[in-house]
Structure 1
Amino acid sequence: MSNRKPFDRNDPFDAIAQMTKTVIATAFGEAMARAPTISRDPEIQYEALVIGLMVGAYGCALAMTAPDGELRAALLAHLPDAFDQARDIVGLPPLGALS
């Protein structure tokens, strides 16, 4: 279980984050469904889907910020919590902080 406070639909941060996760998950589901029409190789599909997801997410974040180099540090700092939240959603225990 994550140490993050419980979801509050009335909290604007939580509402925006939930809406964004839902939109991303829907789009990613569509990409997963289309990937086998491009390549039947599961290794190619996996790597291409993950890289596409990461570059797309980082590109979206970059589009909202000034390109001053701080975005990378901020994204890296949030990775452990993002992984733990995703794991919590599917009922897996957190991995915790990176060492």
Structure 2
Amino acid sequence: MSNRKKFDANDPFDAIAQMTKTAIATAFGEVMAKAPAISSDPEIQYEALAIGLLVGACGCAIAMTAPGGHGELRAALLAHLPDAFDQARDIVDLPPLGRPS
């Protein structure tokens, strides 16, 4: 469905990326299960979960980067976001949306 290379568990990049994706998905699933007990409003749940996920991911990236590199980090995250979104869609057998115009 995409031009991504096939997952290789022996490739250190693939192994670390897979471990990270799995940990985030597991933690996110646990939070999603608890969200309805805090608010029954689906709009509040969606927005809070999405913002929490994005801020958490950015915070983790910031923790690995010296403050002087935060501008470059933000630019890199923004540049990689369309491909990351398409990779996530590919995982659930959806076609890529491609780069925004």
> In which range does the TM-score fall when normalised by the shorter chain?
over 0.9
Which residue pairs with 2:20 in the alignment? Answer: 20
Structure with the bigger percentage of helix: 2
Inter-partner Cα distance in structure 1 for 2:3 and 2:80: 14
Helix, strand or coil for the counterpart of 1:72? helix
Given candidates 75, 78, 89, the residue that maps to 1:76 is 78
The alpha carbon displacement at 1:34 in A equals 0.6
Give the stretch that moved more between structures: 24-33 or 62-71: 62-71
Inter-partner Cα distance in structure 2 for 1:2 and 1:18: 18
Which residue pairs with 2:94 in the alignment? Answer: 92
Which consecutive aligned stretches of 4+ in structure 1 deviate over 6 angstroms post-superposition?
none
Q: 5+ unaligned residues in a row in structure 1: which ranges?
A: none
Q: Deviations over 1:46-75 (max 9, x none)?
A: 000000000000000010011231111000
The alpha carbon displacement at 1:2 in A equals 2.2
Tell me the C-alpha RMSD between the 2 structures.
0.7
- Larger RCO, structure (CA 8 Å, separation 6 or more): 1
Q: Percent identity?
A: 85
Q: 5+ unaligned residues in a row in structure 2: which ranges?
A: none
Helix, strand or coil for the counterpart of 1:94? coil
The alpha carbon displacement at 1:97 in A equals 1.4
2:36 is the counterpart of 1:36 = yes
Inter-partner Cα distance in structure 2 for 1:53 and 1:20: 13
Helix, strand or coil for the counterpart of 1:60? helix
Kindly provide the amino acid, as one letter, of the partner of residue 96 in structure 1.
Answer: G
What count of residue pairs does the alignment treat as equivalent? 99
Give the stretch that moved more between structures: 47-56 or 2-11: 2-11
